[in-house]
Amino acid sequence: MRILNPMGSLTLHKLPTIDFSKENLKPGTTAWNKIRKEVMSALEEYGSFVASYEKIPQLQDAVFGALEELFDLPTQTKMQNISSKPLYGYVGQIPVVPLYESMGIDDANTSEGMQAFTYAMWPNGNEGFSEKLLAYTKLAAELEEIVVRMIFESYGVEKYCDSHLQSVGYLSRVMKYREAKENETKLGFVSHTDKSFMSTIHQNQVNGLEIKAKDGEYFGVDLSPSSVVVMAGDAIMAWSNNRIKSPHHRVIMEGKGRPRYSIAQFSFMDGTVQTPQELVDDEHPLQFKPFDHLEYLSFFSKEENRRLECALKTYCGV
């Protein structure tokens, strides 16, 4: 489809939207197999897709109301939250991305993780905040698990799926992007690939996310209230032996008169990321050596490694 991108030029790209709202979406059913096919072709083409999920719209107001309340806290308070993982602590007021502010929430899809976070932010915790955010983070984890099951099945390695899902933990990054002032950069988030296995991204009704297609062109993602972007991270790129590539993406704030809030949830493996032997053969020689997921995160968190074109290849490429 030909559509205009924000720069006014023609683009051939539009992220596919896949509907996950079917009741009883169960492995083995016709509906499951149909969606699985759509998921695989989108992931192999764009490394991402838009999932529409009817349970999401009713959570929107609560989730973004909660994020407004959080970002209104004094900076001193917000700075206390130091995620246990490198790269996901409080970020605010960096000259290259002055519009951007974020905080990380470890184990964000569990009551314990959310509690620990709210007790760092509010003297007596914040039950309302926990409830509102958990309703979303649990859904996002559930959605990712469905997608991961489809991927494992589709590559004929479903026997490894349960142990994979058991080894995965979720970390959320909540973000606020203010509007750019005149003469200020519109860049909200510099171009990067995610270091996760997979990621999900949800936003309030202010667009800004752009994804780089294989031909090098960035194109905007238009998200409806029921949508979540599902995106491949570097770890699934290694795991899939390069069949699925983690796409570069960035955020550009075009100025909609109000801030953009988003919540990205990342899955990390507790231990080694390793390509299943079934995905390696003469036509597909091994591309990446096994590596410890969290050690890769530490590697990337070093200043000198941030600028690498493909940190994954440098770190563990064969």
Ligand X SMILES: O=C(O)CCC(=O)C(=O)O
Tracing tokens 């009551």 back to the chain, one arrives at: 111
For 173, the token pair is 């990054």
Regarding 210 and contact with Fe ion (CB under 5 A), the answer is: no
Regarding 212 and contact with ligand X (CB under 6 A), the answer is: no
Map residue 46 onto helix, strand or coil.
helix
Which C-beta is closer to Fe ion: that of 36 or that of 247?
247
The least distance separating ligand X from the CB of residue 203, rounded to whole angstroms, comes to 6
For 100, the token pair is 């951007």
Residue nearest to ligand X (CB): 262
The least distance separating Fe ion from the CB of residue 194, rounded to whole angstroms, comes to 4
Figure out which of the listed residues 194, 236, 251, 262 binds Fe ion, where binding follows CB under 5 A.
Answer: 194
Regarding 249 and contact with ligand X (CB under 6 A), the answer is: yes
Which H or E run contains 212?
strand 209-212
The least distance separating ligand X from the CB of residue 312, rounded to whole angstroms, comes to 15
# of chain residues touching Fe ion (CB under 5 A): 1
For 94, the token pair is 């960096």
Which C-beta is closer to ligand X: that of 175 or that of 187?
175
In order, the DSSP letters of 156-198 are T-GGGHHHHHHTEEEEEEEEEEPPPPTTS--EEEEEE---SSE
- The count of residues in the chain is 318
# of chain residues touching ligand X (CB under 6 A): 11
The least distance separating ligand X from the CB of residue 188, rounded to whole angstroms, comes to 7
Regarding 234 and contact with Fe ion (CB under 5 A), the answer is: no
Regarding 176 and contact with ligand X (CB under 6 A), the answer is: no
CB neighbour list of residue 112: distance below 8 Å, 6 or more residues apart: none
The least distance separating ligand X from the CB of residue 316, rounded to whole angstroms, comes to 20
Map residue 86 onto helix, strand or coil.
coil
- Burial pattern 35-44, b for ≥16 Cβ within 10 A else e, equals bbeebbebbe
Regarding 251 and contact with ligand X (CB under 6 A), the answer is: yes
Binding site for ligand X (CB under 6 A): 173, 175, 189, 194, 201, 203, 209, 249, 251, 262, 264
Please report, as ranges, the residues that interact with Fe ion according to CB under 5 A.
194
